[in-house]
């Protein structure tokens, strides 16, 4: 069984360190800063960094690539559709790669950036997803490059994964996301209870990840754009009738941007 450790970086990033204790090998995800990774490896010299997985080109996800490449014997995998230096292999939708004894499927999830990818593993010990900045706990990424339709379709694709899929996203945004979710659906008890739990976790200085597909489908408004309560909230914000799906998603994404 693999172990996932979150290495904090910058103000609210997480660099996920994935450990195979049997092989004493490691992989990291979206290392915007090499220092937390190199520091951990220095304290655990028995582990070798073998793989670096990159979801998209933003600097807070790629800033440490060159240093890690120079300092270790790692292989760097990332999206073919984005200009990222240091990649050893460029990945397209549907590609499969093998890391730490597991097979990962590459999923194109444009929206936050046009070439954004996610990594899905149907691990027999429990499926997991590296979602980057596409799907967050309680929220989703801003649309810096893609369209609302693209992001909606990407999120629908991720929401179709098995309910027990563990989601490892790249930022500690959960508390703010759930405050917005509660504004969208104030009568949703699942959101209310989850926000209370997250408030307690953050007050204690603890992280709120990973999450699961099942929990997100109950509490994340960006996965709920076909729900009557979410559609109604979007219509109230826009002052007009709005279709379910991508149009509702676009309305609540715009609302979140100014929330």
Among 20, 60, 152, 182, the active-site one is 60
* DSSP secondary structure of 173-184: -HHHHHHHHHHH
Among 133, 152, 153, 182, the active-site one is 133
Residue 145: half-sphere exposure toward Cβ, Cα within 13 Å? 15
- C-alpha distances (whole Å) from 70 to each of 1, 55, 156 are 29, 20, 38
Among 51, 57, 152, 171, the active-site one is 171
Among 51, 58, 116, 182, the active-site one is 58
Among 61, 116, 152, 182, the active-site one is 61
DSSP state of 144: S
141 with 111: CB under 8 angstroms? yes
CB atoms within 10 A of CB 86: 17
d(CA 198, CA 223): 19
Q: In the annotation, is 56 catalytic?
A: yes
Among 112, 116, 152, 182, the active-site one is 112
Q: In the annotation, is 112 catalytic?
A: yes
Token pair belonging to 133: 């900045």
161 closest CA partner among 87, 217, 117, 111: 217
Helices (H), 120-160: 148-159
Q: In the annotation, is 189 catalytic?
A: no
- Chain position carrying tokens 């997100």: 216
Cβ partners under 8 Å of residue 144, min gap 6 = 112, 113
Break the chain down into helix, strand, coil percent, rounded to 5.
35, 25, 40
Among 56, 57, 116, 182, the active-site one is 56
Q: In the annotation, is 44 catalytic?
A: no
Q: In the annotation, is 133 catalytic?
A: yes
Q: In the annotation, is 51 catalytic?
A: no
Cβ partners under 8 Å of residue 233, min gap 6 = 183, 184, 185, 252
Q: Show which residues are catalytic.
A: 56, 58, 60-61, 112, 133, 171
């Amino acid at each position: 069984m693999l172990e996932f450790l979150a290495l904090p970086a910058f103000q609210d990033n997480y660099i996920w360190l994935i450990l195979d204790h049997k092989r004493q090998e490691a992989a990291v995800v979206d290392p915007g800063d090499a220092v937390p990774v190199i520091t951990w490896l220095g304290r655990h010299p028995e582990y070798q960094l073998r793989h670096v997985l990159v979801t998209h080109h933003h600097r807070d996800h790629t800033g440490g690539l060159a240093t890690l490449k120079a300092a270790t014997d790692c292989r760097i995998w990332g999206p073919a559709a984005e200009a990222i230096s240091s990649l050893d292999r460029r990945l397209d939708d549907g590609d499969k790669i093998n890391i730490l004894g597991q097979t990962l499927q590459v999923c194109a999830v444009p929206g936050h950036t046009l070439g954004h990818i996610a990594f899905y593993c149907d691990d027999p010990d429990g499926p997991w997803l590296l979602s980057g900045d596409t799907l967050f706990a309680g929220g989703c990424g801003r649309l810096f490059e893609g369209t609302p339709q693209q992001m909606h379709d990407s999120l629908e694709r991720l929401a179709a994964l098995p309910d027990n899929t563990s989601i490892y996203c790249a930022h500690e945004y959960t508390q703010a996301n759930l405050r917005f979710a509660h504004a969208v659906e104030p009568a949703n008890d699942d959101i209310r209870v989850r926000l209370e739990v997250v408030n307690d976790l953050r007050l204690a200085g603890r992280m709120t990840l990973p999450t699961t597909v099942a929990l997100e489908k109950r509490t994340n408004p960006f996965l709920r754009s076909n729900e009557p309560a979410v559609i109604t909230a979007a219509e109230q914000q826009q002052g007009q009738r709005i279709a379910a799906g991508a149009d509702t998603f676009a309305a609540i994404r715009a609302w979140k941007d100014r929330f």
